[in-house]
Amino acid sequence: MSTALPVYLDYAATTPVDARVAAVMAECLTPAGDFGNASSSHAFGRAAAARIERARAQVAALIGAAPHEIVFTSGATESNNLAILGAARANADRGRHLLSARTEHKAVLDPLKHLEKAGFDVTYLTPARNGVVTPAAVAAALRPDTQLVSLMGVNNETGVLQDLAGLGALCRERGVAFHSDCAQAAGKVALDMAVLPVDFLSFTAHKLYGPKGIGALYVRASARGLLEPVTFGGGQEQGLRPGTLATHQIAGFGAACELAGAALPAESSRLTQLREALWERLRALGEVHLNGAGAPRVPGILNVSFGGVEGESLVAGLAELAVSTGAACNSASAEASYVLRALGRDALLAASSLRFGLGRFTEAEHIELAAAAVAREVRRLRGMSPAAGLAAGAAEAGETATVSGEAGGPGKETWVRFRLFTEGDTVKDARVQAFGCPHTLDVAGWLCQQLRGRSRTALLPGAPRDWALARSVPAEKLGRLLVIEDALRACLLHWP
């Protein structure tokens, strides 16, 4: 049994800490390093404070900001909350209308939902099918009482880039504060706050080879008065984010930003080439849909949907890859990606999407391996589906009659077709084709073995609950086993 780790292609979820960053962090942890509390006035505190200010300058330089415009937080989620909740509450007397999009990260959508419960009014725009929110769409939705617009720079699922310059210019013209979640943009595309008309910008270290648990909110100096804190105690970070500063994390964040800025031009070109090479290999499979096609996209994200396969089964077969899927595979609802649904993908296509996140340690051989693995699984699953035609395998000698039955169907989350090779009233052999989750495929295949030798009057080997116990099927998947049962009962109806 192989113990090799899968190829990591989920850099959009998180990145490993660069060894050079880890070395800098280690310098701030032990008695021989800069471990002190930066709020202290003694030598240890002053050394830690100096480290922090050096890192603040490094972080600011990555996005073309001034150091005093950087507020350290625990990550992009906290930065988003500070920007949205802090601005909304500080400016409630100016208006209680906020504007965002349906495709934002939950770290933006959830604070907005919280504000709705507090009496604010939020408009959620639906992007064009390519994922772009146009300035024209924003202009049409702005109202006299709009006080904040929050639109992400790069979508975390599709990699689609928004026109921050155009969106920000519109907001500035209308006197509306503009916030952007740039967790997927910082260090991946050029950002220059001296030019971009953005008031608040959120980003995080763990998306650019720094540590988890540290991020920043850029607060334009002229917009500082538009923001109030949402947590209290201590007065650190200009009174906007209190608490003892994590020197080692901040130092790592600074080092990661400096490295990302230096590598950005060459890395952007390299990742774009790798991304396009992977796309060319995948599109050759047919019925493969590029999510975000026709829009500018960040180099390291490729999101595709595969027709004719079930998303959870696809991912389950890709043991050699670490990738993300558009389906919440472990949830009871198996809900497809709300981002892809907002872009017009139907539920099955949205659930059959894979997001490939490429990064600093991705090589050409990883792309080849990924393309081959996905091609293998897509072809296997499509071949197993009832959509492929009749089940493979002709009746063996002496099997004179074939009984078939199916349930579910095209466009459904589960579709099962059985073919029984019979002799008189006895099943000699059974074949199945199935489209569905891994549990559906497993139980259907297992039942083919159980059916051999069974009579017409006792065809069903127990009930779905028995099958679920025998094959360790989660309770939330029991409904899919009912489709299998219906397919077997359909065999009885067609038995000559």
Residues taking part in catalysis: 329
Confirm if 254 and 59 have CB atoms less than 8 A apart: yes
Give 459-483 as a DSSP string.
-S-S-HHHHHHHTT--GGGHHHHHH
Tokens standing for residue 368: 């080849």
- Cα-trace Rg, the chain: 27
Instruction: Say if strands 415-423 and 7-8 run parallel, antiparallel, or are unpaired.
Output: unpaired
Q: Which residues pair with 161 in a beta bridge?
A: 154
Confirm if 203 and 191 have CB atoms less than 8 A apart: no
365: alpha, beta or left, given left = phi > 0 and alpha = psi -120 to 50? alpha
Cα gap 240→228, rounded to integer Å: 7
Kindly give, in sequence order, each residue whose CB lies less than 8 Å from that of residue 464, ignoring residues fewer than 6 positions away. 478, 481, 482, 484, 485
Give 224-246 as a DSSP string.
GGG---SS-SS-TGGGTS-S---
- The beta strands (E) that lie in 389-461 are given as 401-408, 415-423, 426-435
Kindly give, in sequence order, each residue whose CB lies less than 8 Å from that of residue 50, ignoring residues fewer than 6 positions away. 34
Cα gap 10→27, rounded to integer Å: 29
Q: Which residues pair with 304 in a beta bridge?
A: 290, 354
Confirm if 331 and 434 have CB atoms less than 8 A apart: no
| The length of the chain, given as a count of residues | 496
Q: Kindly report the CA angle at 488 between 484 and 492, in degrees rounded to 5?
A: 160
Q: Please, is 350 exposed, middle or buried when counting C-beta atoms within 10 Å of its C-beta (0-12, 13-18, 19+)?
A: buried
Query: Smallest Cα–Cα separation from 58: which of 242, 210, 225?
Result: 210
Q: Which residues pair with 404 in a beta bridge?
A: 419
CA distances from 97 to 89, 108, 143, 434, 437 (A): 11, 15, 8, 49, 42
Cα gap 185→373, rounded to integer Å: 29
Cα gap 177→148, rounded to integer Å: 5
Cα gap 21→250, rounded to integer Å: 11
